[in-house]
Amino acid sequence: MGLYLLQNGAAGLTAAPVAVTTGAAIKTMLQIKPSATIPMRIAEWGISFDGFVAAAPGKCELVETDVAATVTAHAAADITKYDADALAGGDPTTNLIQVGTTSTGYTASGEGTTTAARMFDLQYIMGTNQYVKQFPLGARPIVQVSKFLRVRVTFAAAVNCYCYVIVDI
């Protein structure tokens, strides 16, 4: 078991990761699917925006859904092994995190039709601001197998976004 950080983009190797625009409709910025047999716990999540003009805040959700969004797939190199246990654990995509365009990835091009959801956190956040939440030990939400963890946003006017989730698997 270890801690893994996933962000809404590919790993920034030779340049900073590319921020993703939110748009005016609901958009999944990041989606994570646990393995078929091992659920995952959420240790922390955060989101920030690069707006520079005060405008209406956006709705930001951390939610478990029963249906996948269609996303740009993460690769193993995009998943940061956050602690010593994760570093010793090998490739997380072999048995801990499922990757693919309907599994784990970022920047949804299609939201799917969710029929069941569990909300873990919901905030109004200004496009000029940021938000970070750490869940305490013993009170970390669990993402069930065969479900999807999503960071979704809805803004009235587009603004660029970075977001991340640290999961404990």
pLDDT tens-digit readout, 87-115: 999 999 988 999 999 999 999 999 999 99
Q: Determine the pLDDT at residue 13.
A: 80
Is 130 a domain residue? yes
Is 92 a domain residue? yes
Burial of 7: CB neighbours in 10 Å, binned 0-12, 13-18, 19+: buried
Angle at 70 between CA 68 and CA 71, to 5 degrees: 110
Q: Determine the pLDDT at residue 5.
A: 97
Is 120 a domain residue? yes
Note down the domain range covering 106. 3-11+21-168
pLDDT tens-digit readout, 42-101: 999 999 999 998 889 999 999 999 999 999 999 999 999 999 999 999 999 988 999 999
Number of domains in the chain: 1
Write out the two tokens for 1.
């078991």
Helices (H), the chain: 84-88
Is 39 a domain residue? yes
For residue 26, give the amino acid letter. I
**DSSP-assigned letter for residue 138:** T
Is 16 a domain residue? no
Greater pLDDT, 17 or 119 = 119
Q: Determine the pLDDT at residue 17.
A: 87
pLDDT tens-digit readout, 126-169: 999 999 999 999 999 999 999 999 999 999 999 999 999 999 99
Is 34 a domain residue? yes
